[in-house]
Every structure is written in C-alpha cells, then in structure tokens.
Amino acid sequence: MFKFTRSDLAIKSNSQLSALFMLATERLSVEAEPKSEAAEANALLALIKAEMRRRLEP
C-alpha cells in the first residue's frame, strides 16, 4: 500500500507529509491485513519522522 522512498518524501509539502502520516497511523489503528501492510505503514512513519526532523534542523 505504501511505497515511498526518502527522496519521494523530500519533495512532498508539509501538508502532504502530514496527510501521509495520518493515513499510515490510521492504517495501524485497524488490524492490517496482510501483516506486511503494518510493516509498510511503520516504515513510512519512520521515513516521515526522519524527513520532518531534517526539515526542522538549522
């Protein structure tokens, strides 16, 4: 379901990143079938968090 790379996220706007974060979080709040979707959602959340930290660095 979620197939994004670090470079994909780098070109997204902050609002797009927020929307993706909400989608991934929502996906984890329901029982993901198959379990690989939960793994993909967790990986996307980690990538988004890293991108947001990168943007906030001076």
Domain annotation covers residue 21? yes
Q: What is the pLDDT of residues 36-58, one digit of tens each?
A: 788 888 999 999 999 999 999 98
Give the C-alpha separation, 12 to 28, whole Å.
22
Domain annotation covers residue 43? yes
Domain annotation covers residue 40? yes
Task: Give me the domain span that covers residue 49.
Answer: 6-56
Angle of helix 35-56 versus helix 14-29 axis, rounded to 10: 150
Domain annotation covers residue 50? yes
Mean pLDDT of the chain: 89
Structural contact between residues 1 and 40, judged by C-beta atoms closer than 8 angstroms: yes
> pTM of the entire structure?
0.83
Domain annotation covers residue 1? no
Give the C-alpha separation, 10 to 57, whole Å.
14
Closest by CA to 55, choosing from 20, 19, 22, 11, is: 11
Domain count across the chain: 1
